[in-house]
Amino acid sequence: MSPITIRSSWRHRAVATIATVLAVLVAAAGPAAASSGVRVVASFDAGSGQNPENLIVGPDGTVYVTWLYAHAVVAVHGDGSRAVVTLPAGQATGVAIDPLRPDRLAVGLSSADPAVAGIWTVPLSAFAGTGTPTRRIALSTQAFPNGVVFATDGALYVADSFGGVILRVAPGTDTATPWLSSPMLAPTGETYHGVEIPGVNGLKLRGGVLYAANSSRGVLLRIPIGQHAAGLPVVVRSGLGIDDFVIDDCGVVTAALNFANQVVRFAGDGPITILADKDHGDIQNPTAVAFAPHDAVYVTSAAYFGTRPALQLVSR
């Protein structure tokens, strides 16, 4: 989930990020035992813009994957079949399911068109041809709605990666307002050929607390959710350029390290275990992870630089 602006392509931005943080990521990961339990669930076609940016698992186990450049969402069913819903021209980014409305997706769309940029509602029925996507929340054409996550009360939190701010959409409303703006969410200001490296990225909620990754600063943050405002961000982990992540009931984090080509696991500031990487499972440029059955995780692989974009399954 790394941002694209209308002024600069993702590929230029990602090259900048790699140049800045790759050495840190590799060093931080340290020695590990990579998993041998990696398999491809679905292969995609980069030539058609099917670059897998983000994913969410539906109530029935269907995996919904956003295709960034194809501005679409693909439903990958358990039997291997697929269905695709295409959105207006833009870049399809974060995806989430409202716990109060599990029959529809919320999908981020970055676009230069002010009538398109925002959070779109995609009814699950659209994958069967009987529903129509609609834009629910308008966003700036400069925004990149990367991580998106719902709270149990239906509030939606959105990470604007390039703006370095977390937005909130209150339950029952259609307006995104700044919830937290902090130097810890912002890009570092470092540039590569004039392109700024992005900031806040993946978002997850656990136990009434919002967790956020800032890929530019290499930190995972813990942000208390107050009654009327966000609490002060606290660094949970530093030295890792996390793109997206999940947290289990024991507080163990499984994370996609985009530029290190790794999926890793750790608890707090404890040791890091590499579950899969480029040499063990052909993990390339992973951008998102989600829990799967049998203590496994789904991973979007080769979203930008790899030669074989795919949805993969990694045994933990």
User: What is the tens place of the pLDDT at every residue in 139-189?
Assistant: 999 999 999 999 999 999 999 999 999 999 999 999 999 999 999 999 887
Token pair, residue 98, equals: 């409202």
User: Does residue 2 form part of some domain?
Assistant: no
User: Does residue 3 form part of some domain?
Assistant: no
> Has residue 13 got a pLDDT over 80?
no
Tell me what percent of the chain is helix, strand and coil, each rounded to the nearest 5. 10, 45, 45
Domains held by the chain: number: 1
pLDDT digits (tens, 9 = 90+) for 247-267: 999 999 999 998 889 999 999
Pick from 108-112, 169-173, 302-306: least confident: 302-306
> Has residue 122 got a pLDDT over 80?
yes
Mean per-residue pLDDT over the chain, rounded:
87
Please report which confidence band the pLDDT of residue 37 belongs to, taking 50, 70 and 90 as the band edges. Answer: confident
* Mean pLDDT within 113-136: 97
Q: How far is CA 292 from CA 41, 59, 242, 316, in A?
A: 12, 12, 20, 10
Q: In whole angstroms, what is the distance from residue 85 CA to residue 299 CA? A: 20
Helix count and strand count (H, E) for the chain: 1, 26
Q: What is the pLDDT of residue 229?
A: 87
CATH number, domain of 150, equals: 2.120.10.30
Instruction: Give me the amino acid identity at 169.
Output: V
Please report which confidence band the pLDDT of residue 34 belongs to, taking 50, 70 and 90 as the band edges. Answer: low
Higher pLDDT, 5 or 268: 268
- Classified as helix, coil or strand, 3 is coil
Q: In whole angstroms, what is the distance from residue 277 CA to residue 44 CA? A: 19
> Has residue 31 got a pLDDT over 60?
no
Residue 225 CA, distance from chain mean position: 20
Pick from 38-47, 189-198, 228-237: least confident: 189-198
Sequence-distant (6+) residues with CB within 8 A of 122 are 73, 85, 87, 104, 105, 106, 107, 131, 133
Task: Write out the residue range of the structural domain in which residue 209 sits.
Answer: 10-315
> Has residue 305 got a pLDDT over 90?
no
Residue 125: φ, ψ to 5°: -65, -20
Torsion of CA 209, 147, 175, 84, to 10 degrees: -130
* Mean pLDDT within 82-103: 96
User: Does residue 105 form part of some domain?
Assistant: yes
Strand partners, 36: none
User: Does residue 1 form part of some domain?
Assistant: no
Residue 269: φ, ψ to 5°: -100, 20
* Mean pLDDT within 6-25: 36
* Residue 21: its H or E element: helix 10-29
**Based on C-alpha coordinates, what's the Rg of the chain?**
18
User: Does residue 56 form part of some domain?
Assistant: yes
User: Does residue 43 form part of some domain?
Assistant: yes
Torsion of CA 53, 243, 207, 312, to 10 degrees: 50
Under 8 Å between Cβ of 297 and 276: no
